[in-house]
Amino acid sequence: MSGHLPRISYTKPSITELEVAYATDAAANGWGERCYDYIVRFEKDFAAHLGAGHAIATSSCTGAMHMGLAALGIGDGDEVILADTNWIATVAPIVHLGATPVFLDILPHSWCIDPADVERHITPKTRAIIATHIYGNLCDMDRLLDIGLRHGIPVIEDAAEAIGSVWKGRRAGSMGLFGTFSFHGTKTLTTGEGGMFVTSDAALYEKVLTLSNHGRARNQTKQFWPDEIGFKYKMSNIQAALGCGQMERIEALTARKREILASYAARLGSFDGISLNPQVPGTVNGAWMPTAVFDRGMGITRDILQQAFSDANIDARVFFHPLTSLPMFDDRRSNIHAWDIPERAINLPSYHDMTEDEIGRVTDVIVNLVASRTSAATDKPYLAKSA
Ligand SMILES: *Cc1c(COP(=O)(O)O)cnc(C)c1O
């Protein structure tokens, strides 16, 4: 019926003349002596923004995680704890290193790893706890850091989705032993592809810096002389130039994300049974991906949502499947929430230049779905709370 309305994308970068000017300068002049200028500047700006000591620009968040885990010496026989609700990028490096991922359940309201489940699954083999701040929602860092401290196990933050998120005054990605970020084209800050490794631990920084340069230490005076096998996960100067432009606009980029989530909340907040990304007191949700979860009793399922949004020519995406439902891992249905929530949830569009009319088109789909489900029922628990 609304198939003739223009398509609403789910994410889309915001690239202005500033980013174009920097990238053009990098392409025209960023060679020879100047071939690292934008990279160095991007790393400095990013570390300063985060309040972290050091940052290393990478080709992806996956690469940053791979190098960080490798630098900790994680490998065969080691266990790494992470949430079952995650993108594949968080677990792939664990598998590549020969370690065993331990997939745990999430909390029903934050959709982030359940600290009590973490505590229960610590073994003598546990070498790291990965806290993924899903969709910009924050993990309970107080409890996770406390568990890590008591057991002598590092907490690592996958902050790929959490630029702009703040936990009690500290930015996501700056609280663990190290943090990783993604600048993929769908993320709040983008360089097309790209990532960042962040730490305030000087020794770990040196280790990863060497690993990131094919094992060549920066104080090695011999040419073409790696001291160990490393990685090649570098960011190019041209990508970093885009990143420098985006960094200058970071407050605007994250503020707009938060505005869009707030607009969804204002339009859907009166409905019982619909939960959006939580805004926990004392924290800031960077709101990378506004997501709606529907109470099971509403009967609004993933399939129904996908069909309704497709009919309205809106690109809404499914909530992450639990990693343990994928073919390469064993099912772990005891992760109740990680398995249950995706069946009744949907990611909503949230790109920078999205208009209020477009946000209205998205919420109309949901309002109509709720109305059609409740009119079929005898009791109407999901009608708007107030007239
Ligand atoms: C996007 C994302 C990544 C991976 O980022 P890349 O830059 O594509 O490697 C990792 N973890 C999470 C949670 C993500 O959303």
pLDDT in tens, 206-237: 999 999 999 999 999 999 999 999 999 999 99
CA distance linking residue 112 with residue 338, whole number of Å: 9
Whether residues 244 and 272 fall in one domain:
no
Cα 170 to middle of ligand 1, angstroms? 21
Cα 98 to middle of ligand 1, angstroms? 20
Average pLDDT over residues 260-275: 95
Domain-embedded: residue 385: no
SS3 label, residue 167: strand
Does pLDDT of 21 surpass 50?
A: yes
Q: Tell me the per-residue pLDDT of 131-160, one tens digit each, with 9 for 90 and over.
A: 999 999 999 999 999 999 999 999 999 999
Q: What is the pLDDT of residue 376?
A: 61
Cα 62 to middle of ligand 1, angstroms? 6
Cα 264 to middle of ligand 1, angstroms? 24
Does pLDDT of 310 surpass 90?
A: yes
Cα 58 to middle of ligand 1, angstroms? 12
Which of 59, 161, 197 should be mutated for ligand 1, with most atoms under 8 A from CB?
A: 161
The domain total for the chain is 2
Percent pLDDT > 90 in the chain is 94
Percent pLDDT > 70 in the chain is 96
Which of 138, 182, 239, 288 should be mutated for ligand 1, with most atoms under 8 A from CB?
A: 182
Q: What is the pLDDT of residue 387?
A: 37
Pairing, β 79-83 against β 126-132: parallel
Does pLDDT of 111 surpass 60?
A: yes
- What are φ and ψ of residue 143, in 5° steps? -70, -40
Distance of CA 91 to the CA centre of its chain: 13
Average pLDDT over residues 169-198: 98
Q: What is the pLDDT of residue 274?
A: 97
Atom nearest to 195 CA in ligand 1:
7
Domain-embedded: residue 361: yes
Last residue of a domain, one of 248, 274, 295: 248
b/e sequence 143-178, b meaning 16+ C-beta within 10 Å: ebbebbeeeebbbbbbbbbbbbbbbeeebbbbbbbb
Q: Report the mean per-residue pLDDT for the chain.
A: 95
Which of 69, 88, 138, 158 should be mutated for ligand 1, with most atoms under 8 A from CB?
A: 158
CB 227 within 8 A of CB 237: no
Last residue of a domain, one of 217, 248, 279: 248
Range of the domain at 190: 17-248
CA distance linking residue 89 with residue 235, whole number of Å: 18
Whether residues 127 and 238 fall in one domain:
yes
Cα 158 to middle of ligand 1, angstroms? 8
Whether residues 118 and 182 fall in one domain:
yes
Q: What is the pLDDT of residue 331?
A: 98
Domain-embedded: residue 195: yes
Pairing, β 166-167 against β 291-294: unpaired
pLDDT tier for residue 378 given thresholds of 50, 70 and 90:
very low
- Ligand 1 binding pocket (C-beta < 6 A) is 60-62, 87, 89-90, 132, 158, 160-161, 182, 184, 195
Q: Tell me the per-residue pLDDT of 29-42, one tens digit each, with 9 for 90 and over.
A: 999 999 999 999 99
Q: Whose CA is nearest to atom 10 of ligand 1?
A: 89
Average pLDDT over residues 329-354: 98
Q: What is the CATH number of the domain that holds 156?
A: 3.40.640.10
Whether residues 260 and 124 fall in one domain:
no
> Which of these, 164, 167, 363, 136, lies nearest to 265 by C-alpha position?
363
Q: What is the pLDDT of residue 53?
A: 95
Cα 368 to middle of ligand 1, angstroms? 33
CB 78 within 8 A of CB 101: no
> Which of these, 320, 289, 341, lies nearest to 10 by C-alpha position?
289
Helices H / strands E in the chain, number of each? 12, 13
Q: What is the pLDDT of residue 25?
A: 98
Whether residues 153 and 171 fall in one domain:
yes
Whether residues 178 and 321 fall in one domain:
no
- Helices 88-96 & 61-71 angle (0-180, nearest 10): 40
Last residue of a domain, one of 224, 248, 272: 248
Cα 308 to middle of ligand 1, angstroms? 28
Question: Hey, which bits of the chain come out as E strands?
Answer: 54-58, 79-83, 100-104, 126-132, 155-158, 166-167, 170-171, 178-182, 195-199, 274-275, 283-284, 291-294, 345-347
Atom nearest to 161 CA in ligand 1:
15
Whether residues 359 and 230 fall in one domain:
no
- What are φ and ψ of residue 346, in 5° steps? -155, 140
CA distance linking residue 251 with residue 49, whole number of Å: 10
Domain-embedded: residue 2: no
CA distance linking residue 251 with residue 344, whole number of Å: 32
Does pLDDT of 377 surpass 70?
A: no
> Which of these, 132, 161, 140, 113, lies nearest to 286 by C-alpha position?
161
Q: What does the block give as tokens for 292?
A: 């709606």
Does pLDDT of 385 surpass 60?
A: no
Q: Tell me the per-residue pLDDT of 271-287, one tens digit each, with 9 for 90 and over.
A: 989 999 999 999 999 99
